[in-house]
Amino acid sequence: MPHRKVGCGPRTIGHAVVNGVARLGYASRFFLMTLISSGASFRRIHLTIREIYFSGVMSLIIILVSGLFVGMVLGLQGYETLQKYGSESALGSLVALSLVRELGPVLAALLFASRAGSAITAEIGLMKATEQLSAMEMMAVDPISRVVAPRFWAGVISMPLLAAMFSAIGVFGGYLVGVVFIGVDVGAFWSQMEAAVDFRQDIVNGVIKSVVFGIAVTAIALFEGYDAPPTAEGVSHATTRTVVTSALVVLGLDFILTVFMFRGV
Amino acid sequence: MERTTLDMWVGAFVVGGVIALLILAFKVGNLGGYDGSKTYKVYGEFDNIGGLKIKAPVKSAGVVVGRVSAIKFDNKTFRANVEMRLSQNHQFPKDTSAAILTSGLLGEQYIGLEAGGDEENMKDGDKFKLTQSAMVLEQLIGQALFNKAADEGGDKKTAQDGNKKDVVK
């Protein structure tokens, strides 16, 4: 680092900006290369299936448990507020709408980033540090189509499934607290939910959100791993950056998508 | 051998995800509730639709028989034109009336159909002859106040035999 002298603030800022733009460009190129060379991950589907196992199946427990608890908390808190207005029968629609539209995709993506994204970054970063990626290149195996693309598609496939399971188990959690424990009318719970939740407007939009989050989180995790300096410190920093960047990108994208999907009409 | 257990886990995972989506679609959402394939369109003109929204249910005797498919403003009559799609399974007489009602105190608004006694049934593209607009809270309160004032006015009139113009104001 040649710019660590006193009085070099502007230069550091400039360096950071130029560096950031260059990294963004590299990340975009990396993303495009992943998309272009992803044919192999479908032709040799077992590569992708293996990655779905590691990033999807292994995230199931945390997704299901968190979903259940989030749904239960929504049931409790929603009941507390709704009963002030005597409309506790709307609890079902409150729980279902907030889960399907927002909490399901967003929380599942945040959990996915910290459970699977960090693992992907660490794995690829270590593969790079131990020169496994260079070894592949030496053997004329493209590491992007062999290592990166299957993980990318595994993440994109797993994410909507995980988000759907999160929402479904969350609704069950809300039902558990609202109907079984507190005693909201069971018919009103489900019928109000069915009346309020629209398939196209709410569920499909939720799935679209989770697909977008899946692309974003997995792409970030892969790039951070691929770009990590080949040292122990570099890999650890890259893993941290994956979680932080993914969280910020997911929340930012969520706002943008929500603006497009639900304009309050 | 190892790959088969792995495949099984991934398969179970995908099946679980799809089942979750189906639960969301049919149990949580309204996809299973109402068959939208065979419908016919009817129209109703309302002076005021209140908070009626597209996709709001159309009910008769409390049973959902269709949904609101479009709401337009008529530039000539200055009224709201509501397009409804009713299920082919439910036929209504030509003199059926439509009213915009509210379920519960603060619930959603829906269209309630009151069947008439005509021999002929409504066809695709027909219009409801009799419609009743949504109740608007302000108008309701205004009417109640007006009625109360009128009642008080009436009392005063009998008491002091004053003229009506003064008290009503």
pLDDT tens profile B102-133 = 876 666 788 888 888 888 888 888 888 888 88
Instruction: Name every chain A residue with its beta carbon within 8 A of the beta carbon of B23.
Output: 168, 171
User: Are the CB atoms for B20 and A161 separated by under 8 Å?
Assistant: yes
Looking at the structure, do residues B77 and B127 belong to the same domain, yes or no?
yes
The residue behind tokens 């007006």 is B146
Each residue's pLDDT tens digit, A119-170: 999 999 999 999 999 999 999 888 888 899 999 999 999 999 999 999 999 9
User: Are the CB atoms for B93 and B119 separated by under 8 Å?
Assistant: yes
Distance CA A220, CA A109 (A): 12
pLDDT attached to residue B65: 85
pLDDT attached to residue B165: 47
Q: Which of B7, B28, B30 is the closest to A100 by Cβ? A: B28
Residue A247 has pLDDT above 90, yes or no: yes
Tokens coding B167? 């008290």
Could you tell me the pLDDT band of residue A252, with boundaries at 50, 70 and 90? very high
pLDDT attached to residue B91: 87
Sheet-wide strand order for B57-60: B126-127, B39-46, B80-87, B63-73, B57-60, B109-114, B97-102, B130-132
More confident residue, A25 or B70: A25
> What are the helix and strand counts (H, E) for chain B?
3, 8
The residue behind tokens 């799609």 is B85
Which is nearest to A195 in space by CA: B53, B44, B37, B71? Answer: B53
Looking at the structure, do residues B62 and B25 belong to the same domain, yes or no?
no
CA geometry: angle A93, A99, A104, nearest 5 deg: 165
B21–A contact, CB cutoff 8 A: yes
Which is nearest to A230 in space by CA: A144, A118, A133? Answer: A133
Q: How many domains does chain B have?
A: 3
Which is nearest to B97 in space by CA: B56, B60, B66, B129? Answer: B129
pLDDT attached to residue A193: 85
For residue B27, give its domain range: 1-33
User: Are the CB atoms for B114 and B100 separated by under 8 Å?
Assistant: no
Across the interface, do B24 and A164 touch by the CB < 8 Å criterion? Answer: yes
Each residue's pLDDT tens digit, A153-212: 999 999 999 999 999 999 999 999 998 999 888 877 887 788 788 888 889 999 999 999
The residue behind tokens 């650890």 is A236
Q: What is the mean pLDDT of chain B?
A: 79
Across the interface, do B20 and A190 touch by the CB < 8 Å criterion? Answer: no
> What are the helix and strand counts (H, E) for chain A?
13, 0
Looking at the structure, do residues B68 and B100 belong to the same domain, yes or no?
yes
Looking at the structure, do residues B51 and B119 belong to the same domain, yes or no?
yes
Each residue's pLDDT tens digit, A78-114: 999 988 887 877 888 899 999 999 999 999 999 999 9
Each residue's pLDDT tens digit, A214-243: 999 999 999 999 999 999 999 999 999 999
Instruction: Name every chain B residue with its beta carbon within 8 A of the beta carbon of A86.
Output: 105
Looking at the structure, do residues B118 and B43 belong to the same domain, yes or no?
yes
Looking at the structure, do residues B105 and B70 belong to the same domain, yes or no?
yes
Task: Point out which residues pair with B131 in neighbouring strands.
Answer: B98
pLDDT attached to residue A235: 93
Provide the 10 A C-beta neighbour count for residue B61: 9
Looking at the structure, do residues B145 and B115 belong to the same domain, yes or no?
no
Distance CA B57, CA B84 (A): 9
Give the predicted TM-score (pTM) of the model: 0.73
Looking at the structure, do residues B27 and B66 belong to the same domain, yes or no?
no
pLDDT attached to residue B31: 61
Looking at the structure, do residues B3 and B77 belong to the same domain, yes or no?
no
pLDDT attached to residue B37: 60
CA geometry: angle B18, B22, B23, nearest 5 deg: 115
The per-residue DSSP string of B44-106 comes to EEES--TT--TT-EEEETTEEEEEEEEEEE-TTT-SEEEEEEEETT---BTT-EEEEEESSSS
Looking at the structure, do residues B57 and B104 belong to the same domain, yes or no?
yes
Looking at the structure, do residues B125 and B142 belong to the same domain, yes or no?
no
Pairing of strands B63-73, B130-132: unpaired
Instruction: Name every chain B residue with its beta carbon within 8 A of the beta carbon of A194.
Output: 27-30, 33
Interface ipTM:
0.76
pLDDT attached to residue B127: 87
pLDDT attached to residue A95: 92
Residue B22 has pLDDT above 80, yes or no: yes
Instruction: Name every chain A residue with its beta carbon within 8 A of the beta carbon of B25.
Output: 199, 203
Residue B162 has pLDDT above 50, yes or no: no
Could you tell me the pLDDT band of residue B149, with boundaries at 50, 70 and 90? confident
DSSP state of A58: G
pLDDT attached to residue B117: 85
Across the interface, do B23 and A161 touch by the CB < 8 Å criterion? Answer: no
Looking at the structure, do residues B23 and B98 belong to the same domain, yes or no?
no
Each residue's pLDDT tens digit, A67-84: 999 999 999 999 999 888
Across the interface, do B29 and A85 touch by the CB < 8 Å criterion? Answer: no
B8–A contact, CB cutoff 8 A: no
